[in-house]
Amino acid sequence: MKPRNSTTPENKQKLYKLLNITNGICYLCGQPLSVDDVTLDHIIPKSLGGGSEHANKLPTHTICNGMKSDMTYEQFILQCSLIVTNAIRTSVYSEVHKALNNYNRQRDDKTKNQNPRNSYPKRNVPRGVKETNPRENGE
């Protein structure tokens, strides 16, 4: 029984042919492939009835192939877009939350410096004269 990623001259030749077809680019992520980190992905997964012929295979990074698993290309792209959308939403929420906290902190600092809470501006009242609260006198 041959190893899964057989490195026979015939298989290497087929791999180089497929790499030339895709210009050495992973068809899943669009990044350049290296011969050390390449595997052939079934375009139509075997679990969904895809065959093992080379017409049903394209070169990908090993990690990209692992993430795609037994999904079709369309399912994989949809899954990736959901992940990215959620990451952006989470990141945007986090950034907005930080910005609001910073704004509130700065606003509170300004307020404290201008007029501390629960204190009124001091009035100049001569010594010996009792200060009255105008609200208590009905004024």
Give the domain CATH number at 51.
1.10.30.50
Given a cut of 90, whether residue 8 has pLDDT beyond it is no
**pLDDT above 70 coverage of the chain, percent:** 74
> Same domain, yes or no, for 43 and 59?
yes
Query: How confident is the prediction for the chain on average, in pLDDT?
Result: 81
The confidence score (pLDDT) of residue 32 equals 95
Is residue 53 in some structural domain? yes
The confidence score (pLDDT) of residue 124 equals 65
Q: With cut-offs at 50, 70 and 90, classify the pLDDT of residue 3.
A: very low
Given a cut of 50, whether residue 2 has pLDDT beyond it is no
The confidence score (pLDDT) of residue 119 equals 55
pTM equals 0.58
> Same domain, yes or no, for 13 and 32?
yes
> Same domain, yes or no, for 43 and 79?
no
CA gap 42, 60 in Å, rounded: 10
Cβ within 8 Å of residue 81, ≥6 positions away: none
In tens, the pLDDT along 89-135 reads 888 888 888 888 888 888 887 776 665 555 555 666 666 666 666 56
* Total tally of structural domains belonging to the chain: 2
> Same domain, yes or no, for 76 and 65?
no
In this structure, of 2-6, 29-33, 69-73, 79-83, the range with the lowest mean pLDDT score is 2-6
Is residue 95 in some structural domain? yes
Is residue 96 in some structural domain? yes
* Domain range enclosing 18: 9-70
> Same domain, yes or no, for 56 and 82?
no
Alpha helices by DSSP H, the chain: 9-21, 62-68, 73-114
Is residue 130 in some structural domain? no
> Same domain, yes or no, for 83 and 65?
no
> Same domain, yes or no, for 45 and 88?
no
Count H helices and E strands in the chain, helices first. Answer: 3, 2
> Same domain, yes or no, for 66 and 80?
no
Given a cut of 70, whether residue 139 has pLDDT beyond it is no
Is residue 51 in some structural domain? yes
